[in-house]
Amino acid sequence: MVSELFEAIVLGVIQGLTEFLPVSSSGHLELGKVILGDDSLSEQSMLMTVSLHAATALSTMVFFRKEISAIFLGVFNKEGVEQRNYVLKIILSMIPAVCIGLFFEEFIESLFSRNILLVGLMLFVTGAILFIADKTKRTERKVGFKDALLIGIAQAIAILPGISRSGATISTSVILGIDREASARFSFLMVIPLIFGKMAKDVLDGSYSTADASGIPLICGFIAAFITGILACKLMIDIVKRSKLAYFSYYCFVVGGIAIAYHLFS
């Protein structure tokens, strides 16, 4: 039990940090499972992964509670055109990922099986995107409808383990010429309905069996991801504003190289 709690907390911290920092949470979770020797059944392992993602989605809601409240109230206000448009942009950004999830669900789940080589290669892709975005000229443009769709496509591609969702969406936004802070905010808010929608679908489909799942490790992992998620969210906003994305690109290159070497020589 002690080892299970330790592994759950470590995975929770990894998820909380890497969901917002542009280094791929899914990729690091796969690496973490290999390092920790996670031999759980695929259903249990996936249940932990989904639980940790739910924790970071909740931490996003807590961190952006004022913005979410303003958007929610604006939607029902006659003068809330901007807020309604923002919601429509988030819905538009969800379409590519929803389509990928519906039509390629089994294939996607098969990628989350300690595929260290894939993780390493995709971390190199993440690093390249971050490096390009870091060199992009600053602007103050807001997210448009076309931008939202393109950012959504980047989010759909980031389903692959090793490609950072936040890194892909924020970098795409910055490359499109959108204000950096607005890019980060949109990136974090757009994933909330997607995560909870995926969870609701899986619960209704009976995809996850909790019969053999250990509740205490799940709770500990959830709490660890939630706390570190709030801290990482604030940190990431500051990093994007200060144009420090290149540092994370170097990190992705190093970890990606280690993952590839591990696959080739283990």
Give, as one character, the DSSP assignment of residue 143.
Answer: P
Query: Within the chain, how many helices (H) and strands (E) appear?
Result: 13, 0
Residue 47: φ, ψ to 5°: -65, -40
Would you say residue 253 has pLDDT above 60? yes
Minimum mean pLDDT range among 10-24, 100-114, 133-147: 100-114
Strand partners, 136: none
Q: Is the pTM of this model over 0.75?
A: yes
Using the structure block, give the residue that is written with the tokens 């570190």: 228
pLDDT at 221: 86
Question: The tokens of 266 are what?
Answer: 């283990």
Q: Which domain holds residue 235?
A: 2-265
What is the b/e burial string over 188-216, where b = at least 16 CB atoms within 10 angstroms of the residue's CB? bbbbbbbbeebbeeeeeeebeeeeebbee
Nearest Cα neighbor of 190 from 219, 163, 170 is 170
- Greater confidence, 266 or 22? 22
Question: The tokens of 243 are what?
Answer: 């144009």
Minimum mean pLDDT range among 99-103, 110-114, 261-265: 110-114
Using the structure block, give the residue that is written with the tokens 């969210």: 233
pLDDT at 210: 53
- Of the pLDDT bands very low, low, confident and very high (cuts 50, 70, 90), residue 138 is confident
Percent of the chain topping pLDDT 70: 88
pLDDT at 245: 85
Question: The tokens of 258 are what?
Answer: 């280690």
pLDDT at 90: 95
* HEC per residue, 56-78: HHHHHHHHCHHHHHHHHHHHCCC
- Of the pLDDT bands very low, low, confident and very high (cuts 50, 70, 90), residue 89 is very high
pLDDT at 1: 57
Would you say residue 43 has pLDDT above 50? no
pLDDT at 36: 63
* Beta carbons of 161 and 26 less than 8 angstroms apart: yes
- Of the pLDDT bands very low, low, confident and very high (cuts 50, 70, 90), residue 181 is confident
Strand partners, 178: 141
CA atoms within 13 A on the CB side of 243: 11
Across all residues in the chain, what is the average pLDDT?
A: 83
Q: C-alpha angle 84/85/91, rounded to 5°? A: 95
- Greater confidence, 4 or 9? 9
pLDDT at 96: 94
Distance in Å from the first CA to the final CA of the chain: 28
DSSP letter string over 217-233? HHHHHHHHHHHHHHHHH
Question: Burial, 33: exposed, middle or buried (Cβ in 10 Å; 0-12, 13-18, 19+)?
Answer: buried
Q: Count the domains in the chain.
A: 1
Question: The tokens of 194 are what?
Answer: 């997607």
Could you tell me how many residues make up the chain? 266
- pLDDT (mean) for 80-96: 92
For the stretch 224-240, pLDDT in tens is: 999 999 998 888 888 88
